[in-house]
Amino acid sequence: MTAGAVTAAVTAVPAAGLSTVEDLAYRDGLAAGLRAILDPAAPVPATPDGYTLLPAGCPALVERAGLTVLPHALAATEGLVLVRLDGWAQPGASRGGTRYALPLVAVRLGLLRRMLDAAVAHLAGRQSDGAPLTARQLVQAAVADVATTLETCAHALRTLDVSTVDNPGATGWLHARLDRADLTVAAMFGASGFLRDHPVRCLHVAALVREAWAPGAPADHGWES
């Protein structure tokens, strides 16, 4: 699917506020971005089996029958908790419909921009043959590829209507692009980019959130969940 096909798949009306969500995620992280887009009056987004990741302390976590908080060490590093909504599962469907698919793109964009900036700074501080790693063509190509993904997804946020996105394939294409870009940025940090205590973990956790919050988005992040 091309970027033009994504635009044609939904009503092209500006989605107000998503650029603000992106900036918030860039500045304050994944949990803050999710809090900004979570609608307390809507069904809690979850997988067909009733699992989801939610920001710690959000209203949806108020004690209620059928809600079980489960341990998830990686999610906890980003201020999230893994929840099982017992008895709320909907076989063959995901709770919350597609309302969060496009807003989640905004959250993930903010995180990706933040981590790309950190990766470029990291590589600029490392040298090979007397020159910073950012001078290498392969590194420049990787940065350019991620920058292209950022611009493509940002354009979608400016033109797609958050209230009318009902085609999982449209936003799914954007999430798949972000999955691949996330993996590229994580690799820029070398082996440390795949450790739990590295800040780039936010990209991995965001890909896990996508599985519950953006139904129909194909998994293309390259990590084992």
- Per the listing, tokens 């635009």 go with 7
Q: Is the pLDDT of residue 92 over 80?
A: no
**The residue to which tokens 């887009």 are assigned:** 37
pLDDT of residue 47: 87
Integer Cα distance of 51 and 41 in angstroms: 19
- Alpha helices by DSSP H, listed for 86-132, are 101-124
**What is the average pLDDT score of the chain?**
81
Residue 109 has pLDDT above 90, yes or no: yes
State mean pLDDT over 163-190: 82
More confident residue, 125 or 89: 125
Contact 207, 223 (CB under 8 A): yes
pTM of the model: 0.83
Q: Are strands 67-70 and 51-55 parallel, antiparallel or unpaired?
A: unpaired
Using the 8-state DSSP alphabet, how is residue 10 labeled?
S
| DSSP assignment letter at 46 | B
Ordered structural domains, the chain, with CATH: 3-33+97-213 (1.20.140.10)
Strands (E), the chain: 51-55, 67-70, 80-85, 127-128, 131-132
Read off the pLDDT of each residue in 165-185 and give the average, rounded to a whole number: 83
| Mean pLDDT lowest among 24-28, 84-88, 184-188 | 84-88
Per-residue pLDDT of 39-91, as tens digits, reads: 888 888 888 888 999 999 888 777 666 788 899 999 999 999 999 987 655 55
The answer to whether the CB of 109 falls within 8 A of the CB of 147 is no
pLDDT at 1 (0 to 100): 38
> Could you give the CA distance from residue 208 to residue 81 in angstroms, rounded to a whole number?
12
DSSP β-ladder status, 80-85 and 51-55: antiparallel
Sign of the torsion angle spanned by Cα atoms 46, 51, 54, 60: positive
For residues 177-199, give the mean pLDDT: 92
Q: For residue 175, count other CB atoms closer than 10 A to its CB.
A: 27
The span from the CA of 175 to the CA of 156, in Å, is 11
How many angstroms separate the Cα of 175 from the Cα of each of 56, 85, 116, 170? Answer: 24, 24, 17, 9
Taking residues 178-199, report their average pLDDT: 92
Q: Which helix (H) or strand (E) element contains residue 63?
A: none
- pLDDT over threshold 90, residue 179: yes
